[in-house]
Chain A
Amino acid sequence: MAILVNEKTKIVVQGATGHQGQFHSKRMKEYGSQIVGGVTPGKGGQMMGDIPIYDTVEEAGADASILFVPARMMKDAALEAISNGLSPVVCITEHVPVQDAMFIMEYAKDHGADVVGPNTPGLISPGKALLGILPPHIFKEGSVGLVSRSGTLTYEIIDEMTKGDIGQSTALGIGGDPVIGMDFISALERFEADKDTKAMVMIGEIGGDAEERAAEFIREHVSKPVVSYIAGRTAPPGKRMGHAGAVISGSSGTAEAKIEALNAVDVPVATMPNEVPELLREML
């Protein structure tokens, strides 16, 4: 098993015919994901290699969607996927206006859909399916679930894990924006319920209090071991560190506060990314 996506999930790619959409549709399919079609309004009936293109999501007959549409079209496209009953709906695109993100999340809640992102690399269940832009060759099938706010930092830590012979059940990027769909808590909840996940890695960063709230959740609801890494120990207050959500406001959102909250619920926090496999080995 894995969470959210596996080899049986039928996937539609919205914005499939753009530069990024084409490249990643092909790569996901090569990895073994069931890509049942792409959607680009006005290009229905065409073929992109062996992938049929549709005008609407309704025609594609998919379970889940991944979106490469431009930020200004994200709201409409995500609502289309959600209203057709698809889940998860993975919004890769960066720079989606926060008002649109809030609208999408409320609509998803009403329809019981899981939204991943926006501004996310997506997710992968190694050996089963890729529903994102993560470089698949660094992953290895296994039993550690990973959830992260950052893309490239995830790759860094996954690479260390795979080299240390620690495979992954599912790795999920939740995105670096202030308003996102799935968060640490909803991911930890799924991993806790997943039989094939034995331990979890949570990669956080400065800004907001998602890590602190996750720590509370771990105390109450998580029995499996969790290890963590928090980026931004040396970040100055008041400056956005690349991600829209990565900013220390006043005294809240600091790495220290997050590390303290996690340590208080017996979650060890690695000082450096390459220490994660060692911490996992100690916990397993």
Chain B
Amino acid sequence: MVSKIGVEVIIMKLLEYEAKDIFVEYGIPTSTGYVLEDVDNLKAILYKMGLPVVLKAQVLVGGRGKAGGIKFANTEEEAVQKAQEILNMKIKDLPVKKLLVNKPSQIEKELYVGFVVDRNKKKMTLLASTEGGVDIEQVAATAPDKIQRLDIDPIIGIQEFQCREVARRLGYAGKELRSLATIIYKLGRIMHDKDAELIEINPLAVTPEGFEALDAKLIIDDNSLYRQTEFKKDVKDTQEYTDIEKSAMEAGLAYVELDGDVGIIGCGAGLVMASLDVVNHYGGKPANFLDIGGGANAENMKKALEIITMKKGLKSIFINIFGGITRCDEIANGILDFKPSVPVYVRMMGTNEKEAKEILNKAGYELYQSMQEAAKAAVKGA
């Protein structure tokens, strides 16, 4: 809670092709293929790769296959037509901007291998299963005995013998045991070296040529970006966020867009969440979550108001400040600087509360003592 304003709040997910590039760097067998943003060069690529091909939408949301984001093509015309279809698609409201062209593999069997951060054990945990190609949570629910788990000691890190043990428990022997163990080990190294929160190969296919990572999922811990500089991206490139969310990130504010009409600004994530709940309790619909953090100044407050009022249909604003490090008079000045176009209901307590009250009263604002009263008024005013 010490560092605050100006820190990006990005969940750093990589696209399939980006994660596969890292697999190649570590020697995990996969096919990287070609990435396209339009179909202009597709024919040339097909000439190089040959047919058939598989066309895969590059998006950061799950359920891509079900949504029609993966298509096979046997002829050039079919490939061009289907590639265009995918590039015109939206998957879960996200427009598809990139397409990966791969050679289809001859799949004999599909496995699952992944590492997650187990917050209860406080360790990185390996999950591996011979039931690949489906959601691992589904396997965990229906056939938990089909999943092999391995907790990694955070101090000594993953060891190769552990990976051999897992490969053997999955039923492998001989050369296959060794190559599967190597893939698991390398995946664990990427998890550690790249500060990942999650890494997944699903499916890891068994083909006549050996194992092959057909898909790749990699999420980098955004708190590690200072040392994982290769993943620093412009916010504009991330597909997952709405325009307002992107502006908020650029301003270093934690913002989540919701579908109601009562704008909400508060300090501290827990208090803001509670503010949404209280507004909801009184029959209002929150338009957003916005945490200005501890120690925010007038400029931060003004920016926060600018951001929440970008949302169309906003009818009232509820500001909830319990100032510990935050100075209420700073917040008050930020409100005056912006002059919002919808009614504002302010609840402020804590450091320099009196000064804040004077500033706001002079400008015609009423200050509330309790968050319940202020929330009620904001709902009524919407």
Taking beta carbons and an 8 Å cutoff, which residues of A are in contact with B? 20, 68, 70-72, 92-99, 101-103, 105-107, 110, 119-121, 133-135, 148-156, 159, 176, 178-179, 203, 205-206, 208-210, 213, 229, 231-236, 239-246, 250, 271-274
Is there contact, CB below 8 Å, between A107 and B155?
yes
**CB < 8 Å neighbour of B270 from A70, A102, A152, A250:** A152
Chain B positions near chain A (C-beta within 8 angstroms): 1-4, 7, 9, 11, 117, 119-120, 122-124, 137, 153-155, 192, 195, 197, 221, 223-224, 226-227, 254, 256, 258, 266-274, 276-278, 280-281, 286, 289, 291, 294, 322, 324-325, 349-351, 370-372
A103 — nearest CB in chain B belongs to which residue? Answer: B154
Give chain A nearest CB distance to B322 CB in angstroms: 5
27 pairs across A/B with beta carbons < 8 Å? A71-B226, A92-B1, A94-B1, A95-B7, A106-B122, A106-B155, A148-B270, A150-B268, A151-B268, A152-B266, A156-B271, A179-B122, A205-B270, A210-B120, A231-B274, A231-B277, A232-B273, A234-B277, A235-B289, A236-B256, A239-B256, A239-B289, A240-B254, A241-B273, A273-B371, A274-B371, A274-B372
Q: Is the pair B3, A150 in contact by a Cβ cutoff of 8 Å?
A: no
Nearest-CB residue, chain B, relative to A154: B270
Task: List the B side residues contacting A119 at CB < 8 Å.
Answer: 1
Which 8 pairs show the lowest CB-CB distances between chains A and B?
A150-B270, A242-B269, A152-B268, A153-B270, A231-B273, A152-B271, A102-B154, A97-B224
* Bound CA–CA A56/B117 (angstroms): 32
B-chain residues with CB within 8 Å of residue A231 when the two chains form the complex: 270, 273-274, 277
A72 and B221 CA atoms in complex are apart in Å by 13
Find out whether the CB atom of B269 lies under 8 angstroms from the CB atom of A93.
no
Is the beta-carbon distance between B137 and A250 smaller than 8 angstroms? yes
| Chain B residue at minimal CB-CB distance from A94 | B1
Tell me the number of A-to-B contacts counted with CB atoms below 8 Å. 180
Is B274 within 8 A of A153, CB to CB? yes
CA distance A224 to B268 in the complex (A): 30
**Given A152-B322, A178-B117: A241 touches B223 (CB 8 Å cut-off):** no
Q: Which one of A103, A120, A213 has the highest number of Cβ atoms from chain B below 10 Å of its Cβ?
A: A103
| B291 x A242 contact (CB < 8 A) | yes
Q: Which residue of B lies closest to A232 (CB)?
A: B273
Taken together as a complex, chains A and B put the C-alpha atoms of A213 and B121 apart, in Å, by 12
> Is A272 within 8 A of B221, CB to CB?
no
Minimum distance in angstroms from B228 CB to a CB of chain A = 9
Complex Cα–Cα for A105 and B151 (A): 14
C-alpha gap A181/B288 in the complex (Å): 31
CA distance in complex: A246, B294 (Å):
17
Among B2, B280, B324, contact of A20 (Cβ-Cβ < 8 Å): B2
A105→B137 CA distance, assembly (Å)? 27
Q: Chain A nearest CB: distance from B125 CB in Å?
A: 11
Say which residue of B119, B223, B254, B286 sits within 8 Å of A96 (CB atoms): B223
CA distance A68 to B155 in the complex (A): 24
Q: Which residue from chain A places its CB closest to the CB of B278 in the assembled complex?
A: A272
Given A98-B221, A242-B272, A233–B280 Cβ distance below 8 Å?
yes
Bound Cα distance from A232 to B279, whole angstroms = 12
Rounded to whole Å, the gap between the CB of B273 and the closest CB of chain A is: 4
- Given contacts A70-B3, A94-B1, A241-B269, whether A156 and B322 have CB atoms under 8 Å apart is yes
Please indicate the chain B residues that have their CB under 8 angstroms from the CB of A20 in the complex.
Answer: 2
Does A274 contact B370, Cβ atoms closer than 8 Å?
yes
B195 touches A99 (CB 8 A): yes
Most buried by A among B123, B137, B270, B280: B270
Partner of A235, one of B119, B192, B197, B273: B273
Task: Tell me the bound Cα distance from A234 to B224 in angstroms.
Answer: 30
